[in-house]
Homo-oligomer: A and B are copies of this chain.
Amino acid sequence: MQLPSSLLENAVNEFAKLPGIGKKTALRLVLHLLKQDVTDVTTFSDTIAKMRNEIKFCQRCFNVSDGDICAICANSFRNQRLICVVETIRDVIAIEATQQFSGTYHVLGGVISPLDGIGPDQLNIESLTHRIQQEQTEEIIFALSPNIQGDTTIYYIQKKIQHLPCRVTTIARGIAFGGELEYADEMTLARSLANRLPVQQYVKS
């Protein structure tokens, strides 16, 4: 695609670097911005740059934050002795969207994956064990990806903190709401049978 201006071409190339955006979509977005007021486009670019430059990570849970401590950690109405351990900020947003969790989080920044060169030292695991000791945490809930890497990470952390008086749980695996039983994979179906619930408890939740 030959573009009539190098300024336009550079902008298209920058947009095309974003995930899921090809050259044609990038051109559509750039031509849209070209039709907007200069001030609107300046606001757009400034907001993006400001976000990247000024965003902080909570020193306690490594969630994104406007200050040194994120709004969830600073909220005294939340149970500060309950920690949900997640891989990324996106998981925090997903769990927060349920409005069912009133504890705090700890963002690991990934899971242990030797094939990708990610060991325990690249993740926020040291700070998690330190935090459990310091804050006398009552329970940690693992909400990691249901795969080998996630399970390895759970196993590793659990070994490290087994001497501490802290309950360790993981979120339930099972058939998703609206999921068809016959299409569920064997692993999920087997686990959902093994971890079956009394009906009273199921109805309550």
Contacts and interface: CB of A to CB of B under 8 A. Distances in A.
Contacts of A64: 4-5, 7-8, 34
A89 B4 contact: yes
A49 interface: yes
A31 interface: yes
A204 to B, nearest CB: 26
A51 interface: yes
Interface in A1-54: 1-8, 10-11, 14, 17-21, 25, 27-34, 36, 38, 41-54
Contacts of A55: 5, 7-8, 34
Interface stretch (A76-84, A90-98, A112-120, A176-184): A90-98
B51 A30 contact: yes
Contacts of A97: 1-2
B29 A71 contact: no
Contact of A19 (B17, B29, B48): B29
A88 B8 CA distance: 14
A143 interface: no
A32 to B, nearest CB: 5
Contacts of A153: none
A65 interface: yes
A70 interface: yes
7 contacts: A6-B66, A7-B66, A8-B51, A17-B44, A27-B93, A30-B51, A38-B53
Interface of A: 1-8, 10-11, 14, 17-21, 25, 27-34, 36, 38, 41-55, 63-66, 70-72, 88-90, 92-93, 96-97
